[in-house]
Every structure is written in structure tokens, then in C-alpha cells.
Amino acid sequence: MKKAIKFSLVYRDMWQSSGKYQPRVDQLVQIAPLIIEMGCFARVETNGGAFEQVNLLYGENPNVAVRAFTKPFHEAGIQTHMLDRGLNALRMYPVPADVRRLMYKVKHAQGVDITRIFCGLNETRNIIPSIKYALEAGMIPQATLCITYSPVHTVEYYTRIADELIAAGAPEICLKDMAGIGRPGMLGQLVKNIKSHHPEVIIQYHGHTGPGLSMASILEVCENGADIIDVAMEPMSWGKVHPDVISVQAMLKDKGFDVPEINMKAYMKARAMTQSFIDDFLGYFMDPTNKHTSSLLLKCGLPGGMMGSMMADLKGVHSGINLILKSKNQPELSLDDLLVMLFDEVEYVWPKLGYPPLVTPFSQYVKNVALMNVMQQVKGEERFTMIDNHTWDMILGKSGRLPGPLAPEIVELAKQKGYEFVDTDPQLNYPDALDEYRKEMDEKGWEYGPDDEELFELAMHDRQYRDYKSGVAKKRFEDDLQRAKDAALAKGGFSTEEILKLKRAKADPVIAPSKGQILWEVSVEGPSTAPFIGCKYQHDQVFCYISTPWGEYEPVLTGFTGRVVEVCAKQGAVVNKGDVIAYIERSDIFA
């Protein structure tokens, strides 16, 4: 029997690689016992990356979500881990040092054991402070190598970085193969190198299945000493996500590795429950192409999780590009033509920008430059004339050192614009900020929360946190969901009127009890604004008032709990007894 291999379920990343949103906290609490019951996971990824921003976009408190999701795993002896972007922490742009330091104290208090620290540039100056902050807070820092395939990303390159991160105190190394383009042989040799230098260091492999190399890569890293493999589960495994735990277990067991058994009854229950989350509402925001593998990803090296947003970008510019081509009497392009053009342009742009590993946020920067270049070329204009400020910050060194040299034309373009290149510690560009956020919370009367977790949330995601506190986020999400539902119906060939009929068929009417004028805004205790689509009402809650001809305000109650799907009467409208004021769907997907 060969060495033991442990499995880690990347439940958070499964969703992030598939669509826009994550499960709500009540759903996470439902699925946790089944994940535990499966009996095969030593670790579960519970948060990090976009997870907390998504909670805020729902109008949900991410601190509550993290505490609730990690609790059952701790009780079961399963380690939890989060994804951490180093200098960028949990967002897409740099974070002040005092906010980064606070993050580890908060996450440790919330029950997260391990932080997977990565930098999109593999810049050790961005990773090492996080290693130190995590150790100070009592967390396990897992230093990460962002894997890609280029002339500069060699085994020797990665081995040197691993040595530096381990010397800084990292007891674990993760090979983060975010696009799944790491070559199996290279990954195996890298694991062998690290283990030969540092046999005590735990190595975890994280590989997406997009271009189809991940199973071979898993076998190679295990044969060369890896300890833990990240896996997914149906109905979200494969495609642009990760290999399924069943297949990984079967392959490794056949090769003689000591792997845990899977409780298949629990697996099927967890599979069905995850599907129910998709059917509930998450599926409305999942791109179906993310279930596909594509060898084309080897050409451009973009991570699978970006395919959905990239296809949305292409669809957005497709008609505009064809209008330009038509005006020039040139043949129009299909979406596939445009996709290949973009892949080719990414392949062209990437080395000229210094080979930044194509992972958040640098994958977005490279993709955006490539997309702008394609549009400019269609117009007959030059490349690199539309580069955003965040990308310039990367080019100029404000995010850290690029792995490879910049192309001479990029350097010349920077000089023409009067930009200066820097090679200082990137953190020095972003001064401490917690005192300013404390002042804001004090002025608004907001609590800092247990372990300063609410202060941290404001400092990390200030705009989204303010929207969460004001209620704007919740309304925006509910409107977003309603639009997605309507779009899905429209895609099925339904007209606007047919969509309304379908929505009404599943809803119950709120009936005017008497004749009068509809008032959504009144001076008495009750409604202050008209309800919006998706707004929830309880059975005993005042829905609106009717100003009767005899001068009374008559309250209208819904009589049942549900969410508004249509509002039929505007403020001030005159209704007769028996008229429909609104329709409310009883089946509450947000309960």
C-alpha cells in the first residue's frame, strides 16, 4: 500500500467556477451535515475569494455565513480552509496592511483553520506578510504557487519560490492550477523537488478540469509525494470546475494509494441537495458552457471560471463588431469566430505583458486588454490604445514584479504617457485605513461586531457593506433574480404577456377590499414605499392602504406569506372592490 492521500472538497470554488452566486447561509447549513456524512473529506473550503462579496450582494451578513458553515465541520474534526489573494486579501484590488492583519484574527475567531494565500504574480513580497499575519492569529498559512505554462514558469522558477515561502514559515504549499493547463510531468517534478528539499511540508494540489489534464496531473503529483487533492462532487464536478471525488478515489485506489471510502448514500443525498440549490435560484446565474471541457483553453491559458464572463463580454460586443464590419463591406463574424480571435489575442498579449499568471485579477486584466485590442483592430486602429488603470498598475509594478520582461512597445507606451515604473514593496502604496473605517462606524452608530468582524467587513468591502446595511443590496439582488427568471422564460419562447400569465398562474392575487385610492406612502405606521418585484411580505403584514371615499385609511393585508411578482396599481390609482392590487407567489425560495 502506498501513502495515504486525503481529499478536500472545494465547495465554495465549485460554485464560483460555475456561476455568479454562492448558496445562501441557510443552504450552506443544510449541506454541511451531508458533506460530513460522506466521510471522505479531511478538509472543506468554506469561504474566501468572492464568497463574502456574494453574501453582501444578497443582503446577507457574510460573518454569520462563515461562522455557521464552519461550525459543523469543526465539531466533526474536519479542517476548514479559505482562499486569500495576498495583497488583495478577499477582493480584486490591494488592501491596507492593517486590514489584512485583522482579517486573519477575524477568520480564526470565526472558525477557519487554513488560509490559502496566493498572489496572481507569485510575488513573494505579497505572500510573506500574509504568512506572518496568519501565524500570529493562530491560522495555518498555506502558501500557494499559481501554476501556468510559459517559457518563464519552469520547475526551477516554482521551486525557488516554494523554498522562499517555506523559509518564511509556510508549513504547507498549494499548487493552484487554476486553468488546468499545468502539464502533468512538470507538476510531478515540482512536487518531487519540493518534497526532496522539505519532506515535512504538506503539499495540496488544486486543478480545474477545463482542458482535460487534471486527472493525469493528480496521478503525477500523488506519485511524487502530494498529500491532499482538491475535489468536487456532482452535479458540479468536471467542466470548468474540478474532478469528481468518486473518479479520483477510484484512480488512486487502483494505483495502490490509501484513500478514504465514500459513503455513497450520503453522496447521493448531497448531490440531490446541491441540485436543489441550482433549481431553487442559483441555476439562473450559471453559464451552461461551464459544464463543458475545452482543449481551446490550452491555447489561451485562461481559467475556466472566467469563461462565463468572457462569453458575456463577447456577446455584448458581437453585434457592434458586426455592424462595423458590415459598414466596411467585410464579412460578419460568428461568435465562434470571435472567440478564436480573442483566444489568439490573449496568446499574443500575454507575453508582451510579462507573463502574469492568468488568475484573479490578472487574468481579467489580460483578457480585457485582448478584448479591447480585438475591437480596435476591427475598427482599423492600433493595439494597446485602451488599457485601464488597474492594468497599468500591474504593468508599472505597483502590484509586484512581473514574471517575465515587458515588450519594448509596452515600455515605450508607458514612457509616452509619462508613467513611472516602480519596484518597491507593493504594500507601501496602500497606507493603513482602519481608523477611518472606525470613524465611519462610530458616526453611523454601527457595531464593530464580535472580534471586530463588522469593522473588518466594512474595511474589506466598503461599498458592498454599505449597500448591505442600507438594504439596497437585497433589493438589487431580488430584482436581478426576477430579471433572470423572466429572461429564462423569454428564452423558452414566451412573450411578455405569456410570462405575466405564467407568473400569475403560480401566484395569488392581493384583492382590494373596497373602493378607493391606493396609497403606498402614508403618514401612519405602515408601508413607506411601493413594493418592488421580489419583495417579501408576511401573512399578517400591511401591504398597502386604501384611502376610502369617506376619508379613512383602510389597511390591506396579504393574508399569506410570499414574494411580489407583479404590482398592478400605482401610487394614487383608484381601484374598485375586488380589483387585483398585486400578485404574490406563495412558494418562497428565500425562506
The pLDDT tens digits of the residues spanning 475-532 come to 888 888 888 888 887 777 666 666 677 777 778 889 898 899 998 765 444 444 567 6
Could you say which of 286, 313, 333 is where a domain stops? 286
CATH classification of the domain holding 561: 2.40.50.100
User: And the C-alpha cell for 24?
Assistant: 445562501
C-beta separation of 188 from 218 below 8 A: no
Please report the pLDDT score of residue 304 as a whole number: 58
pLDDT of 352 higher than 60 = yes
Helix count and strand count (H, E) for the chain = 22, 16
Please check whether residues 131 and 216 belong to one and the same domain: yes
130 and 249 co-located in one domain: yes
Give dist(CA 228, CA 8) in Å, integer.
Answer: 7
**Whether 256 and 131 share a structural domain:** yes
**Is 281 in the same domain as 303?**
no
Are 258 and 302 in the same domain? Answer: no
Measure Cα distances from 319 to 325, 334, 487 in Å: 10, 10, 19
The distance between the two most distant Cα atoms of the chain, rounded to a whole number of Å, is 89
Report the distance separating Cα 154 and Cα 158, nearest Å.
6
Instruction: Please check whether residues 245 and 339 belong to one and the same domain.
Output: no
- Indicate if 66 and 150 belong to the same structural domain: yes
The C-alpha atoms of residue 199 and residue 210 are separated, in whole angstroms, by: 31
C-alpha pair distances (Å), 219 with each of 103, 225, 243, 247: 35, 10, 12, 12
Determine, yes or no, domain membership for 435.
Answer: no
The answer to whether residue 561 sits within a structural domain is yes
Burial of 204 (0-12, 13-18, 19+ CB in 10 A): buried
Residue 461 is assigned to a structural domain of this protein: no
Residue-number span of the structural domain to which 22 is assigned = 6-286
Tell me the three cell numbers of residue 29: 447549513
Output the pLDDT for position 589.
38
Please compute, for residue 190, the number of CA atoms within 13 A of its CA located in the half-sphere on the CB side. 33
Residues 47 and 160 in one domain: yes
- Same domain? For 271 and 310 the reply is no
143 and 278 together in one domain:
yes
- Is the residue at 472 inside a domain? no
151 by Cβ neighbours in 10 Å (0-12 / 13-18 / 19+) ranks as exposed
Q: Tell me the average pLDDT of the chain.
A: 89
pLDDT the model gives residue 309: 63
Decide if 384 is inside a domain.
yes
Query: Do residues 517 and 562 share a domain?
Result: yes
Q: Which of 407, 428, 449 is at the close of a domain?
A: 428
**Phi first, then psi: what are they for 464, rounded to 5°?**
-65, -35
pLDDT value for 89: 95
pLDDT at 476: 86
Residue 307: the pLDDT is: 61
Examine residue 468 and state whether it is found in any structural domain, yes or no.
no
Residue 482 lies in a domain: no
Both 73 and 132 in one domain: the answer is: yes
Q: What is the CATH number of the domain that holds 63?
A: 3.20.20.70
In which region does residue 21 sit, left (phi positive, over 0), alpha (psi from -120 to 50) or beta (all else)? beta
- Percentages helix, strand, coil for the chain, rounded to the nearest 5? 50, 15, 35
Last residue of a domain, one of 400, 428, 456: 428
**Domains contained in the chain, number:** 3
Confidence of residue 343 (pLDDT cuts 50, 70, 90): confident
Q: What is the pLDDT of residues 186-239, one digit of tens each?
A: 999 999 999 999 999 999 999 999 999 999 999 999 999 999 999 999 999 999
Average pLDDT over residues 550-555: 82
pLDDT, tens digit, 9 for 90 and up, residues 62-112: 999 999 999 999 999 999 999 999 999 999 889 999 999 999 999 999 999
Q: State yes or no: pLDDT of 590 exceeds 60.
A: no
Flag whether 450 is in a domain.
Answer: no
Confidence class of residue 51 from pLDDT cuts 50, 70 and 90?
confident
